[in-house]
Amino acid sequence: MVVAWHDSGLPRRRLSRSVRPLPPTALFHRLDLLSPSEARVCRHFNQMATLDGSTLFLSVGSYVSPLSQLASGVESLGAVQSITAYLSDNTQLIANPGLRLGVRTDATALYQISDFWKKQHEDSDLSKYIVRRYAAASSGVAIMYPGTLLDRSFDPRSQSWYLSALSNPGRVVVSPPYLDPGGAGYITTASHTVYQVGRKAYGNKANAGHHGY
| Residue 1 CA to its chain's centroid (Å) | 18
What is the rounded CA–CA span in Å between residue 35 and residue 212?
29
Q: pLDDT over 70 for what percent of the chain?
A: 82
Q: Which residue has the higher pLDDT, 14 or 192?
A: 192
Best CA proximity match to 210, nearest among 151, 142, 149: 142
Confidence of residue 31 (pLDDT cuts 50, 70, 90): very high
What is the rounded CA–CA span in Å between residue 96 and residue 78?
14
| pLDDT, tens digit, 9 for 90 and up, residues 161-204 | 888 888 888 888 888 998 998 898 998 888 988 765 544 222 22
CATH number at residue 15: 3.30.450.20
Please state the domain count of the chain: 1
| pLDDT, tens digit, 9 for 90 and up, residues 81-133 | 999 999 999 998 999 999 999 999 999 989 988 999 999 999 988 888 889 99
What pTM, to 2 d.p., does this model score? 0.84
Which range of residues forms the domain containing residue 134? 2-212
What's the whole-number average pLDDT of the chain? 83
